Chains A and B, each alone.
Chain A
């Protein structure tokens, strides 16, 4: 039966808390080591979401903010993929949420003051629930790069923020999707917080011409991997054993 603990998180592929080239991390990173827990129900359970939580256009960013008969400006893309666990098993019925800037690199957020213009037909957020095979898809515009005040001339690569739940609170993950071939990826101090080059590749969505809609939208494929769970071959040991 598949009800054991989740595999230990590999902290060497994730960014550490303190990454001084990403300046904001300096005052927002704990100095003490995290205390490792053996998991209990508190970590091995998590919230569930149903289709009743979502609206019909929640995964269509071309439509969910646009005025009737209008559409946002930008490169029309489909982002699709699967949510899998480390055992390569699909993670069905899990909530995937995304948010992003518009084609000019401007966010619809009252605190974003970048010169890039807002798009009256683009909100920039979406959400969906994976199907029985762990599949999800969104339709959106490809976001633009934008500047940010870290070093004075830092530019974020085009990216979409991605939030996933899995089936347990210990699987909770927020990450960012980057786009294949973007020359800003190796320049970015936030990307560079990830110590493992293969882990960066894994966050880079691949152009997927087979999933395009001809004469309509380009497609990118982005699989998300959450922590896997071990099988319980043996009974739990009694305490002190």
Chain B
């Protein structure tokens, strides 16, 4: 027998199930228990940069919206910096992380934040501005990771090292959200299609 490596194995994932809201968004489950629900304020009041809204639907393989999904987002600030392990290095109050659930009736979700800046990628190549998403729900056995890029960043998107990893150019557009202007607020609409036509690109990170 050669030497043993003695690594532990990662705990296996399980679906978040239909009642994920109880633990992670109890107000939506129908009761208030915590002083403060986490994930509602991503950028805080001091964050620099353009204030934006991001919204969309998560759509299943039958074309119907998923109404019991929970999404988390992780992003850099407008200067392209992520908070460090102490939560510092960014504006006071900038958490960079958010959590939203879908409306039970319509499946619509949305959050307000600031548009992130470009982040340094591997080998000194800049990545286009993007939001990192993690999606869990009943029927999803392991959280799905994807990114959302911004539809008004054509030049940066064309050079983005991650978008360019997707060899099927037609699939790249599934993670680029078009920008619209709604009463002076920029809104990016990001439809996440779990399966079928125009299936969203998911990443194994």
Contacts and interface: CB of A to CB of B under 8 A. Distances in A.
Contacts of B179: none
Nearest to B63: A27
Contacts of B139: 22-29
A17 B60 CA distance: 13
A216 interface: no
B18 interface: yes
A174 B61 contact: no
Interface string B28-42: 011101111010000
Contacts of A226: 10-11
Given A27-B61, A30-B144, A174-B14, A47 B30 contact: no
Given A16-B141, A226-B11, A38 B122 contact: yes
Interface in A49-63: 49-50, 53-55, 58
A161 B134 contact: no
Given A30-B194, A47-B97, A198 B201 contact: no
A115 to B, nearest CB: 16
Interface residues of B, number: 82
B115 interface: no
Interface stretch (B82-90, B151-159, B181-189): B82-90
Contact of B74 (A42, A124, A175): A42
A55 B74 contact: no
A218 B62 CA distance: 46
Contacts of B122: 38, 40, 236
B195 interface: yes
B84 A45 contact: yes
Contacts of A202: 9, 11-12
B111 interface: no
Interface string A100-138: 100000011111100000000001111100000000000
A47 B96 contact: yes
Nearest to A172: B134
Contacts of A50: 87
Interface string A185-225: 00000110110101110110000000000000000000011
A237 B123 CA distance: 8
A191 B12 CA distance: 10
A91 to B, nearest CB: 11
B141 A19 contact: yes
B62 A175 contact: no
B9 A31 contact: no
Interface in B2-56: 6-24, 26, 29-31, 33-36, 38
Contacts of A100: 22
Contacts of A88: 6-8
Contacts of A34: 145, 202-204
Contacts of A32: 171, 199, 201-202
Interface string B79-103: 0001111110000000111000000
A87 B158 CA distance: 38
Nearest to A33: B204
A84 interface: yes
Given A86-B10, A174-B136, A27 B33 contact: no
Contacts of A54: 34
A72 interface: no
Interface of A: 9-11, 13-17, 19, 22-32, 34-43, 45-50, 53-55, 58, 64-65, 84-88, 95, 97-100, 107-112, 123-127, 161, 163, 167, 169-170, 172-176, 190-191, 193-194, 196, 198-200, 202-203, 224-228, 236-239
Top 4 A-B pairs, shortest CB-CB distance: A99-B23, A24-B139, A47-B97, A28-B139
22 contacts: A13-B9, A25-B139, A27-B61, A30-B144, A35-B204, A39-B205, A40-B119, A40-B120, A42-B119, A46-B74, A47-B97, A48-B87, A108-B31, A111-B104, A112-B19, A167-B85, A173-B143, A190-B14, A193-B141, A199-B12, A225-B10, A236-B122
